[in-house]
Amino acid sequence: MFSILAAKPKSSARNKTGSWRSTKMPRLLKKECINCGLCKFVCPEGCISGSEKNQYSVDSEYCKGCGLCAYICPKKDIEMIENKPEKSNSSEEAEKDKGVGK
C-alpha cells in the first residue's frame, strides 16, 4: 500500500501556504514608493512582485505575515494590518496532489 510519496515539479505551489499566516498581513500603500525593490528582495516567501513605482503587490496565497517588507521599506510605504483569513487547501485540491507521478 502506498500514500503520497513523490510529486512533480511545482506541485508545492499548489499548497497555498498563506493559510499559515500570522495575525498580520502587509498592505502596500502605493504612495511613497521609490521602486527600490528592497521589499521584494527581503521577502522570504518570494511573494512580492513589481518593477515600477507604486506598482508592487503581495501574493496573499503565500505571504506569511512576517513583516520584513514593512520593516525594510525606506519610505514606510508598507504597513502591517490585521490578517484576513485565506481559504486553506480545499480537500479537492489536496486530492489532486496525491500520488506518484502526478
Partner 1 sequence: MKKFIEGSYAMAEAAKLCRPGVIAAYPITPQTHIVENLSQFIADGELDAKSVNVESEHSAASCVLGAQAAGARSFTCSSSQGLILMSEVLFCIAGMRLPVMLVCANRALSAPINIWNDHQDSIAVRDAGWIQLYAENNQEAVDLIIASHKIAEDPKVMLPAMVCVDGFILTHGMEVVDMPDQKDVDNFLPAYDPPYKLDVDNPMSFGLLGTPDVYQETRYAIQKTLEDVLGMIPEVGKEFGDKFGRDSLRLVEEYKTTDAETILVAMGSVCGTIKDVVDREREKGNKVGLLKIVSYRPFPKEVVKSALKSAKHVGIIDKDISLGSDGALYSEIKSLLPSDQKVSGFIAGLGGRDIKLNSVENIIKMAREEENSCKFVDLNKDILWDKFKTI
List of residues contacting ligand SF4 (CB under 6 A)? 26, 28, 33-39, 43, 45, 47-48, 56, 58, 63-69, 72-75, 77-78
3-state secondary structure of 17: helix
Q: Which does 18 bind (CB under 5 to 8 A by kind): partner 1, ligand SF4, none?
A: none
Reading phi first (left if > 0) and then psi (alpha if -120 to 50, else beta), residue 67 is in left
Binding of residue 6 to partner 1 (CB under 8 A): yes
Q: Which does 101 bind (CB under 5 to 8 A by kind): partner 1, ligand SF4, none?
A: partner 1
Q: 65, 82 in Cβ contact below 8 A? A: no
Q: Which does 84 bind (CB under 5 to 8 A by kind): ligand SF4, partner 1, none?
A: none
Contact between residue 61 and residue 18 where contact means Cβ atoms under 8 Å apart: yes
The residue written with cell numbers 493559510 in the block is 19
- Is residue 16 a contact residue for partner 1 (CB under 8 A)? no
3-state secondary structure of 21: coil
Cβ neighbours around 6 below 10 Å, total: 10
Nearer to ligand SF4, 7 or 36 (CB): 36
Q: What does the binding site for partner 1 look like in residue numbers (CB under 8 A)?
A: 1-9, 11-12, 15, 89, 91, 94, 98, 100-101
